[in-house]
């Protein structure tokens, strides 16, 4: 697989007491990802944007500050560059302080590792350049930690180096993206125009919010890693194999056994079947029941097997014909279309029922009121 060049910078600090002056409410790491074939042209394009908007100075988010009109112009120029940004946003007020994250080194190591694991799903070969942070001793410690954590079967030859951002326009771009995300997500830096900034970033940035795990924006199948369906195929196979590698062979958890059988069956099917062919639900349930020595109900199959695997980031396509591991961009789009055809009508029905009940009770009853229904309420309001 083609080598991926990654340029990393951050916004904020690792301190958790956000009530103090000067302490950010978020810690954001932004990684600008560039394919090897595009590196020369992308670097030149970033340098041209720097020169256009900053003349002799660095392309720094702090140099723009609250001037969001200027910031939006720069974001729109960067959106035309052949790169993609994978970001990680730690919302400090929601973090558990009893986990060691109150220590600076542990905090940075944890979130750097989390970010790079996401990036690793997109390429086997990585070359990562990180903006200088802290002392040389800390940089060396972080490099060793990341290589220890991330080297292995997933990578062929990962490299991690540190550099001053003034020496590379793509490190400066990473700084600008991180700072712009802060204008959306950081309580102390949030812009009145955060919705515009978020919209301008949407086509170029995938940001995971922690600890909720919610991801806003996704690595687009039609924009960055789209030229080769092999990227999709390898990613989906890798996620399934990583799950199997982490499953305990001696487990007494019968639902876990069912998930292992399910994935083993899909991988075998992926290897031997014709492209686009699904493995039927009947056959999958038969395989699982044979291994468990007891029947598996439809509800248990969907909730304890398929849903749990998807919660673990295993990508599984499904439709009325059964299940399979995606092997192309078309497979992913087909699954998304199928999911939309099921989810959207259900949410619309709920929305219409909600509206009718509110009118019938003159606003006294809202069937979607309450924190446990917040997600469904948001979806209903969007579709409305």
Work out the average pLDDT over 144-165.
68
**pLDDT tens, residue by residue, 217-232:** 544 444 444 456 777 8
CA atoms of 221 and 232, how far apart (whole Å): 8
Q: Which of 161-170, 206-215, 273-282 tops mean pLDDT? A: 161-170
What residues form DSSP beta bridges with 33?
Answer: 6, 84
Q: What residues contact 11, with CB distance under 8 A and at least 6 apart? A: 24, 26, 27, 28, 30, 61, 175, 178, 179, 181, 182, 186
Find tokens 């590196």 and name the residue.
39
**What is the domain partition of the chain in residue ranges?**
4-216, 229-327, 339-383
Task: Tell me the pLDDT tens digit for each residue of 325-382.
Answer: 888 887 888 888 877 888 888 888 888 888 878 767 777 888 888 888 888 888 888 7
Whose CA is closest to 206, among 195, 221, 192, 193? 221
pLDDT tens per residue, range 21-60 = 888 888 898 999 998 899 999 999 999 999 999 988 899 9
Report the chain's mean pLDDT, rounded to a whole number: 82
Within the chain, residue ranges assigned H as helices are 39-54, 61-64, 68-78, 104-120, 136-150, 169-185, 194-202, 229-246, 254-272, 281-292, 298-300, 307-311, 329-360, 374-383
Phi, psi dihedral angles at 71 (to 5 degrees)? -60, -45
Q: Is the pLDDT of residue 248 over 90?
A: no
pTM of the model: 0.61
* Measured distance CA(352)–CA(380) in Å, rounded: 9
Taking residue 77's Cβ as centre, other Cβ atoms within 10 Å add up to 16
Q: CA gyration radius for the chain?
A: 23
Question: For the ranges 80-94, 165-179, 264-278, 367-381, which has the lowest average pLDDT?
Answer: 264-278
- Tell me the pLDDT band of 259, cut-offs 50, 70 and 90: very high
Q: Are 71 and 183 in contact (CB under 8 A)?
A: yes
Whose structure tokens read 């497979």?
331
Contact, 206 vs 37, CB < 8 A? no
**Cα(79)–Cα(46) distance, integer angstroms:** 10
For residue 97 the two structure tokens come to: 């302080």
Can you give the pLDDT at residue 154? 42
pLDDT score at 220: 44
Confidence class for position 298, pLDDT limits 50, 70, 90: very high
* Model confidence at 156: pLDDT above 60: no
**Interval 200-208 mean pLDDT:** 85
Domain 4-216, CATH class in plain words: alpha beta
């Amino acid at each position: 697989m083609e080598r991926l060049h990654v340029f990393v910078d951050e916004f904020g600090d690792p301190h958790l007491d956000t009530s103090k002056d000067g302490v950010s409410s978020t810690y954001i790491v932004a990684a600008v990802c560039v394919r090897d074939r595009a590196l020369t042209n992308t670097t030149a394009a970033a340098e041209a944007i720097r020169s256009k908007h900053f003349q002799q100075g660095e392309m720094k988010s702090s140099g723009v500050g609250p001037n969001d009109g200027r910031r939006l112009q720069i974001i729109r120029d960067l959106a035309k560059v052949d790169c993609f940004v994978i970001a990680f946003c730690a919302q400090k007020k929601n973090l558990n302080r009893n986990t060691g994250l109150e220590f600076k080194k542990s905090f940075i190591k944890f979130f750097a590792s989390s970010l790079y694991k996401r990036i690793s799903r997109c390429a086997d070969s990585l070359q990562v350049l990180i903006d200088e942070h802290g002392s040389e001793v800390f940089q060396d410690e972080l490099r060793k930690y990341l290589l220890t954590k991330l080297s292995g079967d997933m990578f062929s030859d990962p490299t991690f180096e540190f550099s001053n951002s003034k020496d590379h326009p793509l490190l400066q771009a990473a700084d600008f993206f991180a700072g712009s995300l802060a204008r959306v997500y950081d309580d102390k830096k949030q812009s009145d125009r955060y919705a515009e900034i978020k919209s301008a970033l949407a086509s170029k940035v995938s940001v995971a919010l922690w600890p909720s795990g919610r991801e806003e924006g996704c690595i687009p199948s039609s924009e960055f890693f789209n030229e080769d369906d092999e990227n999709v195929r390898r990613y989906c196979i890798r996620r399934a194999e990583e799950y199997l590698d982490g499953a305990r062979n001696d487990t007494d958890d019968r639902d876990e056994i069912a998930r292992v059988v399910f994935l083993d069956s899909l991988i075998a099917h992926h290897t031997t079947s014709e492209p686009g062919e699904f493995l039927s639900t009947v056959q999958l349930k038969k395989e699982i029941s044979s291994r468990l020595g007891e029947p598996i109900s439809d509800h248990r199959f969907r909730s304890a097997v398929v849903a749990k695997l998807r919660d673990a980031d295993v990508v599984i396509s499904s439709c009325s014909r059964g299940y399979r591991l995606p092997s192309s961009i078309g497979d992913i789009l087909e699954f998304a279309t199928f999911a939309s055809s099921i989810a959207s009508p259900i949410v619309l029905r709920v929305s219409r029922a909600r509206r009718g009940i509110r009118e019938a009770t003159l606003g006294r009853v809202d069937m979607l009121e309450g924190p446990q229904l917040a997600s469904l309420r948001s979806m209903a309001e969007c579709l409305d």
